[in-house]
Amino acid sequence: MSMWVFGYGSLLWNPGFEVAESVIATLPGYARSFCMRSIHHRGSEAEPGLVLALDEQESSACEGVALRVADGHEEATLAYLRERELISSAYLEKMLSVQLRDGREVTVVVYVIDEAHNQYCGGLPLEEQAQIMARAVGQRGPNTEYLYNTAEHLASVGLHDPALEWLAQRVKEIAV
């Protein structure tokens, strides 16, 4: 049986594993938002950045990309993803069902925010998010790079996220 991973943020442009197939997909019950403080990859303990996470919202649906892992790479991919995504335990690993744009339904490995974790910061105003991302830098580089790459890749696959697009434009205006 094939292993699928749901990408909605950096996995879109930096999956870090061998992808055999990539299909636009919709995950019901979750919304993509900058609701996680990044203290490792895109910020620090002293000056946290913000990264995307999936916030559980019953009436929402997140459009992203389902990535099918190349046959024979499932175990290594899961180990890699756990090391990358579970670095601070702010994400929860779940197996959820998504609807692929071509009509198939598949189960994906997906990382969603743990709302009880101290890195959770859902509901920040967009302007506050922009101010944070304009200056934060972490082990994997500036928060701006994460934001711009994600915005570009969503657009390149035809996915529209108005809040993310507004943030990318606003951060470009204020980043130093």
For residue 89, count CB atoms less than 10 angstroms from its CB and return exposed for 0-12, middle for 13-18, buried for 19 or more: exposed
Q: What is the pLDDT of residue 155?
A: 95
Q: Is 85 a catalytic residue?
A: yes
Q: What is the pLDDT of residue 176?
A: 66
Q: What is the pLDDT of residue 163?
A: 95
Q: What is the pLDDT of residue 90?
A: 92
Q: What is the pLDDT of residue 40?
A: 87
Q: Which two tokens stand for residue 48?
A: 């946290």
Set 63, 85, 115, 173: catalytic member: 85
Please state, in angstroms and rounded to a whole number, the distance separating the CA atoms of residues 55 and 14. Answer: 21
Give all domains of the chain, ordered by start, each with its CATH number: 4-174 (3.10.490.10)
Helix (H) or strand (E) holding 109: strand 105-113
Residue 33 amino acid letter: S
Q: What is the pLDDT of residue 1?
A: 81
The Cα-based distances of 166 to 105, 134, 147, 148, 173 in angstroms read 31, 13, 11, 11, 11
* Closest C-alpha among 114, 119, 107 to residue 92: 114
Q: Which residues contact 108 (CB under 8 A, 6 or more apart)?
A: 4, 5, 6, 25, 27, 66, 95, 96, 97, 98
Q: What is the pLDDT of residue 142?
A: 96
Q: Tens-of-pLDDT digits for all 176 residues of the chain?
A: 899 999 999 999 899 999 999 999 999 999 999 999 999 889 999 999 999 999 999 999 999 999 999 999 999 999 999 999 998 889 999 999 999 999 999 999 999 999 999 999 999 999 999 999 999 999 999 999 999 999 999 999 999 999 999 999 999 999 86
Please state, in angstroms and rounded to a whole number, the distance separating the CA atoms of residues 91 and 1. Answer: 25
Q: What is the pLDDT of residue 120?
A: 97
Q: What is the pLDDT of residue 88?
A: 81
